[in-house]
Structure 1
Amino acid sequence: MMRKQNIRHLSLAQIQEVFEQMGEKSFRAKQVYEWLWLKQAPDFESMTNLSKPLRAALEENFDFPSIRIDATQHSTDGTIKSRFRLHDGHLVEGVLIPTSTRQTACVSSQVGCSLSCKFCATGFMDRKRNLEFDEIFDEVALINKQAIETSGKKLTNIVYMGMGEPLLNYRNVLKSIEKITSTDGLAMSPKRITVSTAGVAKMIQQLGDDQVKFNLALSLHAANDKKRSQIMPINETNNLKVLVDSLNYFYKATENEISFEYILFKDFNDSEKDADELIKIYRQVPVDLVNIIEYNPIDQARFQKPSPEATEAFMEYLGKNRVNARLRRSRGKDIDAACGQLANKATV
């Protein structure tokens, strides 16, 4: 038996061609396309301005594997974590992070991860597969609905900082952003989207070659190769010099915003010497902002969070050295929704 084609993997022109073959009027194809992307229908049955026979024919001839929310958790700080069930039973997580000025969606790009970062819960999971572009789009669309339902406001920002390494699912990540920013999708500005990478230098350069319009964040977390390799095995093949060169290449090609993410670990990367090394890297790249992130403990890792005094001293030292740094307070810690905590826990 032939596998049915995913209808969302067809362009409008391709759907029109199919409808012509079916003897349907071409405007029906446009209606279907709007249901798929603009109205975000979850299935063919929801396409209420199509006749029942046409809906049945679509059901018979095409797959429409949309994702659904399997479970949600609500944090005391307003953060909402959702576990999404994919058509094949796999699970991924996404987070809505509301503030007074922003509604941010944090989305996943892979089921699990292959990079094995030593501080990240997802890094202790096997990578099962990449998400398709339409699955990533669904995550964003469902979180956008949550934002509207809970605050009356649409999403203002999207960060690809959930499960997986986005640049190892390059084609689907870029195509999902194309759909999210399209006028027949969510019409969001690419300047409101940030893709975070653990540092795949070759693909950072590819982003430059492809003239992308979104922002880029590098998960740095240590500013010398020895320490970074201890916690991020990817550094062994993508060291700091290579990453600095790739980031400069990206900026020269796009002039898009670059930020660093730097999680503070007690007695590992929180000393004045560590700050000096961070400042040195900061001055080699046109970095807009360094996000200093509170560490969120996970069961599998030995790291601890520095004291408030040590964190404050680190921030003050960066400030004195004219580094544009911001301390990012973790959101959703009580529901394991904070940075590095996403792992499809059964207790969701």
Structure 2
Amino acid sequence: MEIIKNINVPTGHILIVQGDKGSLECLSIGDYGRQANVKAKFLGLNKDIEGVPNGKCMPLKEKWVVTISTQYGCNSACKFCDVPKVGRGINATYKDMKEQIEVALSLHPEVKGTKRLNIHYARMGEPSWNPDVLRVSYDLHKITKPYIGNSMIHPVFTTMCPNKNRKLFSILQEWTNDIKNDAFRGDAGLQFSINSTSDEQRNDMFSGNALSLREISDIVKTCQPQKEENML
């Protein structure tokens, strides 16, 4: 996969790459750690988070984050996002997603392993429309092994819960049961882009294309994982 542009940022790299159907964006970055960007009382992290200033990231051998695009453009029309301006949501191919991961990892050949590789389906596109996201996820250990050996992988599925996707429930059920609980033995994440606890605000922000909070709650109850979620 050809790298069209490699933009260096304080956390790492923003990449524009050439996919099978056009340009895609992916990230290869470090992380500031839980103390800087997570508030969770059950973990003893009680500090209020008021923005995360640029600072020194954890070493990639401690935590590495790769974020990939699952579509060229997006149909969700979220008002806070520029991706719809790129064009309609055409699914990235299995090869597109596999090679985004490979390109992101190839930037640091000096890193032979990491304690935690987070792979986020959270750049361009809504992943629940692309069934190849699940296919790639089953193969993540095979895809990443040439770069980081048998390092721990933590994939994260991020969705705004499109209300027109009739396969959303079955996709999330497969993610929580077959991928998270089985293939990754509990070490995978599911992130809902809620953005507000007001359905009125959400309806405006998502241009009427997202499920209501009650509908999302019903899905969560039904897809309840058997093991406790790890933090993203």
> How high is the TM-score relative to the length of structure 1?
0.49
Structure number having the greater helix percentage: 1
Partner of 2:43: none
Q: Following the alignment from structure 2 to structure 1, what is the Cα–Cα distance between the partners of residues 171 and 151?
A: 17
Residue 69 (1) aligns with residue 3 (2): yes
- The within-5 A match list for 1:171-190 is 171-181=131-141, 184-187=142-145
Cα distance in 1 between the residues matched to 2:72 and 2:99: 15
The answer (yes or no) to whether the contact 2:117–2:151 under 8 Å persists in 1 is: no
Mark the CA change 1:233 to 1:255 in structure 2 (over 3 Å): closer, same or farther.
Answer: farther
Alpha-carbon distance in 1 for matches of 2:88, 2:154: 28
Q: Render the CA deviation track for 1:299-339: whole Å, top value 9, x for unaligned.
A: xxxxxxxxxxxxxxxxxxxxxxxxxxxxxxxxxxxxxxxxx
Please state how far the C-alpha of 1:128 moved relative to its aligned partner. 5.1
Deviation at 1:250, TM superposition (A): 1.7
RMSD: 2.5
Structure 2 CA distance for partners of 1:110 and 1:228, relative to 1, 3 Å: same
Answer whether contact 1:73 1:81 (CA < 8 A) is retained. Answer: yes
What corresponds to 2:183 in structure 1? none
SS at match of 2:16: strand
Aligned partners of 2:20 and 2:96 also within 8 Å: no
Displacement after TM superposition at 1:246 (Å): 0.7
1:239 aligns with 2:199: no
Q: Residue 200 of structure 2 aligns with which residue? A: 226
Q: Which runs of 5+ in 1 are unaligned?
A: 1-66, 258-287, 292-348
Structure 2 residue 55 is the aligned partner of structure 1 residue 82: no
Number of residue pairs aligned between Structure 1 and Structure 2: 186
Q: Is the 8 A contact 1:70 1:85 kept in 2?
A: yes
The structure-2 alpha-carbon separation of the partners of 1:111 and 1:190, relative to structure 1 and needing over 3 Å to count, comes to farther
What do residues 27-46 of structure 1 show as CA deviations (whole Å, max 9, x unaligned)?
xxxxxxxxxxxxxxxxxxxx
Say if 1:108 and 1:162, in contact at 8 Å, map to a contact too.
Answer: yes
Give the percent of matched residue pairs that are identical in Structure 1 and Structure 2. 19
Rounded to whole Å, the distance in 2 between the matches of 1:190 and 1:168 is 27
CA contact (8 A) 1:198 1:234 kept: no
Q: Distance in 2 between matches of 1:103 and 1:242?
A: 33
Q: Cα offset for 1:102?
A: 1.2
Instruction: Indicate how the Cα distance of structure 1 residues 136 and 255 shifts in structure 2: closer, same or farther if over 3 A, else same.
Output: same
TM-score by length of 2: 0.71
For residue 112 of structure 1, report the CA deviation from its aligned partner: 0.4
Cα deviation code 1:60-92 (max 9, x no counterpart): xxxxxxx321110101x142011011234x101
Aligned to 2:73: 112
CA contact (8 A) 2:89 2:125 kept: no
2:76–2:162 Cα contact (<8 Å) kept: no
Match status 1:132 vs 2:93 = yes
